[in-house]
A = this chain, B = another copy of it.
Amino acid sequence: MSDQQTVSGPETFDRMWADLVPLGRDPDSGGYHRHAWNGADTEVRAWFTEAAVARGLDVRADRNGNLWAWWGTPGPGAVATGSHLDSVPDGGAFDGPLGVASALAAVDELRGRGLTPTRPLAVTVFVEEEGGRFGVPCLGSRLTAGEISPERVRGLTDASGTTWAQAMEAAGHDPHAIGADPEALAGLDAFVELHVEQGRALEETPHPVGVASAIWPHGRWRMDFTGRADHAGTTRLSDRSDPMLPFAHAVLAARALAEEHDARATVAKARIAPNGTNAIPSSVSAWLDARAADGAVLDAIVDGVREVAAKTAREHGVEHAMVNESLTPLVSFSHGLRDRLAAVVASRAPDPRVPVLPTGAGHDAGVLAAHVPTAMLYVRNPTGVSHSPHERARPEDCHAGVLALADVLQDLLERPVDEGEG
């Protein structure tokens, strides 16, 4: 695709989206299983590389496997925009890919407008944002930001026991090269991530596009309940060490505590062994996902779940351990950048009061925010449903997102390089 005055970002977005939607789609559920280094992931990464190369962008994989497609020569004062292409297990089409396709479409839109940027622009794809395969979210951005150790990442295993290192190597990337990349981040003056909204706040307004204010503190905790396998038909109740029972108590405690504190706490994943109808489980491992508006409330919820799990495990002769697997404190996005985005978005908005929203969802932008002035745009979600094959965004709202992102990038790219971000 060459620089032509006639190119429109929304049009090229529609074409890219039509190419991207079928890749790795489950024919039964309509959902996606795009996870780091698997077949579907390879397909969507190839799609990105091809689309970027077709635009004359220079595509590079960094040491952590994240993809960077450059418009202009990488250097100081760069602006980056992008998101991720992986999904949760059986996830939706929009969470992640919307931000990537919109970024490429915004490049087309800016070229269509005849823009010649004074700064380099990178369109980025971060690896394994959802943690759908290896259990820990935002691995690509955390590695690059130096917020997780390469040793730990290499040793993470998926459900079948394959390590990150094995999977990365099989996909043709060197797992020994992974780690912090301070130079890459030091070159960035701004990072903007466009994302489908994962709630219905915009739906209650006339606005197709909003701006992020903050990400709630959130984390994941693994709970291991270890009992003793035994015959479900013959073992007296008093002789059992059944880990399913404290697990069930923990599930209900998480919900009750979230209600009490007006927060979120969810047990959505568990592994039961041996998972046979007539064998009392030997172990149940389960994951708690908890998020709250402030850290003290988050602590209260997690402590409460731990207490119930430990007490009921004791009552049933079951061992219990609970470890934190990831924890992200409150992220407040750059106020200066946030206000600048809101002002730019307002120029095209139905009214000037562009919604500025907090979220309970983690994002690569939340990881980068500690290192680079960072902001996010949200595109309206008519049902609020996300992490599901039923995740949706209206085409006209996606188009509004592309134009808003193009406006924001134009604003950032036209500034002199010696002007920083606030």
Contacts and interface: CB of A to CB of B under 8 A. Distances in A.
A359 B231 CA distance: 11
A29 to B, nearest CB: 8
A386 B282 contact: no
A31 B242 contact: no
B88 A274 contact: yes
Interface stretch (A104-112, A168-176, A252-260, A333-341): A252-260
Given A242-B266, A268-B278, A362-B233, A252 B255 contact: no
A13 B300 CA distance: 59
Interface residues of A, number: 70
Contacts of A230: 384-388
B390 A198 contact: no
A216 to B, nearest CB: 8
Interface string A342-385: 00000000000000000111100000000000000000000011
A152 interface: no
Given A251-B244, A268-B281, A384 B239 contact: yes
A387 B228 contact: no
A296 interface: no
A5 B31 CA distance: 69
Nearest to A287: B277
Interface in A138-185: none
Nearest to A250: B248
Q: Is the interface of A mostly helix, strand, loop or mixed?
A: loop
Nearest to A220: B277
Contacts of A18: none
A16 interface: no
B279 A268 contact: yes
A389 interface: yes
Nearest to A359: B234
A233 B360 CA distance: 5
Nearest to A272: B270
Q: How many copies does the complex hold?
A: 2
Nearest to A267: B244
A218 interface: yes
Contacts of A242: 255, 266
A279 B88 contact: yes
A27 interface: no
A89 B388 CA distance: 31
A317 interface: no
Contact of A232 (B31, B234, B268, B278): B268
B272 A277 contact: no
Given A229-B388, A279-B89, A282-B388, A272 B273 contact: no
A235 interface: yes
A278 B388 contact: no
Interface in A207-245: 216, 218, 220, 228-237, 239, 242, 244-245
A137 interface: yes
Contacts of A362: 233
Contact of A235 (B228, B248, B384): B384
Contacts of A89: 274-276, 279
Closest 6 CB pairs of A and B: A229-B388, A90-B274, A198-B234, A89-B274, A279-B387, A232-B266
20 contacts: A89-B275, A89-B276, A91-B276, A91-B279, A198-B234, A228-B388, A229-B385, A229-B389, A230-B386, A232-B266, A232-B289, A235-B384, A239-B384, A242-B266, A244-B251, A249-B252, A268-B279, A268-B280, A269-B272, A276-B387
Interface of A: 31, 88-91, 95, 130-132, 135, 137, 198-200, 216, 218, 220, 228-237, 239, 242, 244-245, 247-249, 251-252, 255, 258-259, 264, 266-270, 272-282, 287, 289, 291, 359-362, 384-390
